[in-house]
Amino acid sequence: MGETKIKQPWIIWITGLSGSGKSTICKSLIKILESKNTRYEYVRADEIRQFLTPEPTFSQEEKEFIYRSSILIAQLMQAQGINTIIDSVDGRGEARELAKRYLANFHIIWIDCPLDTCIEREHNREDKAEIVDLYQQALQGQLKLPGLGYDYAYEPNPLLKIDSIAFTADQSARLIADTLE
């Protein structure tokens, strides 16, 4: 890992189940990028959802709207020479496939984490992005989530696959940063 260097402006999509550690890793990655004075934009699906759908239903149509918004933002940032980090689950993988068709210099980083650990992390998460007990709602049948309700579409050929049990957020961020130029 970390042998291939990705040239700027890059777009990386950090994906994994809710609670896998995506946002925590992104926070560590942002610190590294800022220490190197790297221009970037952080496109966090949770924040887009809060703004565009303040009372989310997590319907497939709503998710697609959020993912497409993320892709458009990334495309606009890249046109301005700005590196972009997309932090989003995309459980069915359809948005990642769409991004592959529309975005240049696009790469996927998969954060791998067992579902039971994700559920525990999500329950104890301090930054709930105004969404409380996401997995609990899924366990009660109130909504469908990747891993609970339908299978998560694992990325077949990610730039990096990071085990968030084996690596800390800081170590994971360093692995990612080492692939970015």
Q: How many Å apart are CA 141 and CA 145, to the nearest integer? A: 10
Q: How many Å apart are CA 156 and CA 108, to the nearest integer? A: 10
Share of the chain above pLDDT 70, in %: 94
- Please name the helix (run of DSSP H) or strand (run of DSSP E) that holds residue 161, with its range, or none: strand 160-163
Within 8 A by CB and 6+ apart from 138, the residues are 144, 145, 148, 149
More reliable by pLDDT, 173 or 62: 173
pLDDT at 22: 94
Q: How many Å apart are CA 92 and CA 73, to the nearest integer? A: 20
pLDDT at 1: 47
pLDDT at 3: 59
Does 97 have pLDDT greater than 90?
yes
125 in helix, strand or coil? coil
